Amino acid sequence: MNIKVPQVIDVLMKYGSFAMPLVNWTLSNDNLNPAWEEYFKAIRYDWQKEYTLELKCIDRGIRRCRDDQTVKYLLLSLELSVLQNLKMPEGNRLYIKLRREFYKVPKLARKTVATTLLSYPSLNMNETDLAKIRLWSQYYQNDRSTQVFILLGKARKKIKTGNITEGIALYFKGLRIAKAIPHPTGIIDSLNDSAWYMRYSHPHWALRFANQAMYWVGWYREDARGVFYVFDTFFEIQRIVSDQRLCETANLIASLQKYLSSGQGRSKREYYKETIQGCKYFIFDLKSSMYKNSNSLRNYLRIFMKSISSASVDSNLSRGKLSAILNGKTKTVRGETIRKLVKGLKLKPNPLNDPAPLINEWMKMKIEDAFFDALEKLKGIKPNDRIVLLLSTYMSILDRKEKLSYLSRKRKLKRAIEFCTADMHKFTNFMSNRYETMRFVSDMISEMHPFLEGRKDLVKKFLGKMPKKRMRMFAADYAELTEGDRKTVDVFARDYTRYDLRWKVYLKLPVELKEFVEFFHLKKRPSTLASFASERPAERNKILRVFQALR
């Protein structure tokens, strides 16, 4: 066994799929023996839900493990997990085999095998009479990561048998332990599952927990495809409680669903077909300013107009104009007219039910108000801190070419940074001509969607590690990059903060990063892990190329 494998396995047992960069780093080691190489490849495929490829790696690994019982049982544990995910009956036979041979499992593999055995019966929907594994050793009870999954397994079993209250209590207990580690999957799944099972009985509590789950998805998961179910849960609960920020989640789902692969299963697009379709009704075009005078719009306005005369006075619109709208003679309605009606009638549109023109104009009004509020707050903030807010907001946003089509253009971001630090009057003028930039400014100050807020906080911490003068230099260099290279830096910055942990594994910093890391006063270990976050060597080489250009 390679001398560093036990250290890597120890981190894997504690952090699960969050340790992906460490797996990528391990696989880059030419001295890794073939059986362990297949194990780490299989682990990676497991996290990606590529079960067919995973089973092939497991089969090759078992044939190559020779007398290494540690890797053999780790591979068998992975195989059991895959068979469960695929709902294959062979899993029951392997479960029984592993139970019987548990005393043979080497110490390094026991925690993983025990956790898999504990989870299998509670996740198996077809067999309820499988013998349960007993944890007779205090050794397992004292391992916190194992404890988390024991509690999650027990919680699922309680939920399955109808004991929702007891199940939720176990989820909360697991959550407290997961946060103390911290264990990303334990944190996210405890919050998400609790929210899902509480969505009808305690919907506002469910919204609170789903909101937290979304934040931690942003914080811990760069690739959100594997936790798309959290977006699904959040969107469903927002609909139940008529949350006004539902449209933000709909936009995120619309952006992320494009990256889901086709096929069956929890990580596939078809599984979320209903949610994806439902999102389309809550995505609005802020560039629109002319609307069809539909029956639904007229009926809605009639409900809130006591009389045409009073509505005319309140909205500062002529009686003739209002009459033409209500009787359908006017075929289109201008956005400015709708705004006057929203203000004059003091309407509070509901995104779930009310006509789209009202929602669209109401959203514009909210963006404008938030924009000017944010500007006043920015004036009281130091220039350096404004840069941090601007960059962290920019670097957190998905699909910038679509969501920030103007600001992401060449030289536009550079001008925004210059104005933000030197001349707030010019900054106001520069950002006030488009709703996308006005919303961006309000996002600099206000709390964003929890998923984006998690990503934003990561970048804030990354920039906060740099001396102030160096941070301003970084901002200037970043603005000069192409949008593609900016995205590479964005991912690195978020991953740097994610992996700024005390993992007991020595990692050599790539020589290409040395100058950048030293110049901006960054740490070596999180920088190395961030550079290995991608499994693809070409992407890792791109990171090194971009950072050599930055400094």
16: left (phi over 0), alpha (psi -120 to 50) or beta: left
Model confidence, pTM: 0.89
Q: What is the spatial distance between Cα 444 and Cα 456, in angstroms, rounded to a whole number?
A: 9
Q: How far is CA 103 from CA 41, 96, 137, 426, in A?
A: 27, 13, 12, 72
The answer to whether 496 touches 433, Cβ cutoff 8 Å, is no
The domain segmentation of the chain, as residue ranges, is: 33-139, 290-363, 380-550
- The pLDDT tens digits of the residues spanning 293-326 come to 999 999 999 999 989 999 999 999 999 999 999 9
Pick from 74, 82, 91: nearest CA to 38: 74
The helix or strand, by DSSP H or E, that contains position 57, with its residue range, turns out to be helix 51-64
CATH 1.10.260 is held by the domain 290-363 = yes
pLDDT at 94: 94
78-101 tens-digit pLDDT = 999 999 888 888 999 999 999 999
| Calpha distance 119→140 (Å, rounded) | 14
CA 136 to chain centroid, in Å, comes to: 37
Q: Is there a cis peptide before residue 450, judged by omega within 30 degrees of 0? A: no
Roughly how many angstroms between the first and final C-alpha of the chain, as a whole number? 39
Q: What is the pLDDT of residues 408-462, one digit of tens each?
A: 998 999 999 999 999 999 999 999 999 999 999 999 999 999 999 999 999 999 9
What is the predicted pLDDT for the residue at 136?
41
Task: Tell me how far apart the alpha carbons of residues 209 and 237 are, in angstroms, rounded to a whole number.
Answer: 10
Residues 521-548 have a mean pLDDT of 92
The pLDDT tens digits of the residues spanning 394-410 come to: 999 999 999 999 999 98
Mind listing the pLDDT tens digit for each residue in 194-218? 999 999 999 999 999 999 999 999 9
Q: Does the pLDDT of residue 127 top 60, yes or no?
A: no
| pLDDT tens per residue across span 19-66 | 999 999 999 988 889 999 999 999 999 988 889 999 999 999 999 988
Q: How many CB atoms lie within 10 A of CB 50?
A: 16
Q: Alpha-carbon distance 13 to 110, whole Å?
A: 10
Q: Per-residue pLDDT tens for 144-198?
A: 887 888 888 889 889 988 999 999 999 999 999 999 999 999 999 999 999 999 9
